[in-house]
Structures are given as structure tokens and as C-alpha cells.
Amino acid sequence: MATVRHLRKVPITEAIIDIRVNPLPDVTARTFDQLRTVLVDSYPLVHEPPNSRGTLKIEAGKIVASTTEVVSQGLHFKAADSLTVAQFRSNGFTLNRLKPYTS
């Protein structure tokens, strides 16, 4: 069996696990609020990133109507060292890990 060894110059700068789902209309950032108390020891920093959504209506090559709204899709939970971020969103889950990797 091969010996596991740590590389001095890891070729990967970020590891990502990303799971996407079709969003449910009633799932919002508030849906994930209860995770704040569950994850506080591992992920004490919580951020609710804003997302913009807009539409354009174009007729004869000109914009005739546009709308923009700011919506929140979920919460980002960050480890104290800022190297790991768990994103819980209405359309999925993403776990980001930055180097250095220890295991």
C-alpha cells in the first residue's frame, strides 16, 4: 500500500463539494436560522449574502422594462480560521475548504 505523505506545494488551492437542488418557493435564509445554534462551535461566523435578481424586457433592440430585487437565498457559516465555509442555500449546499490541508 502507498505511503500517505503531505505535499509541500499542494496543487489544489480550494476543495469544493457542491450539491444543487431545485429550490422550493418557501425556503429562505430564515429556514436555516436554527443551524446557528447547531453549528456555532465549528462555524461561529455567520453571513447572509445578498443576491440580486432582475429581469429585462427588450423590444426592437431597446430595453422597455426592467426590475431588480435583492433576495436572500441562505446563510454562510464560516470557521473561526476562515478556511472552511458551509453554505446552506434554497437551491443547495456547498462546502468550501481553502489550503492548507492537514488531512
| Rounded distance between C-alpha atoms, residue 46 and residue 76, angstroms | 6
Q: What is the pLDDT of residue 102?
A: 65
- In the chain, DSSP finds a helix count (H) and a strand count (E) of 1, 7
pTM equals 0.70
Where are the domains positioned within the chain? 14-48+76-98
The distance between the two most distant Cα atoms of the chain, rounded to a whole number of Å, is 67
Give tens-digit pLDDT for 6-49. Answer: 777 777 778 899 999 998 888 888 889 899 999 999 999 998 88
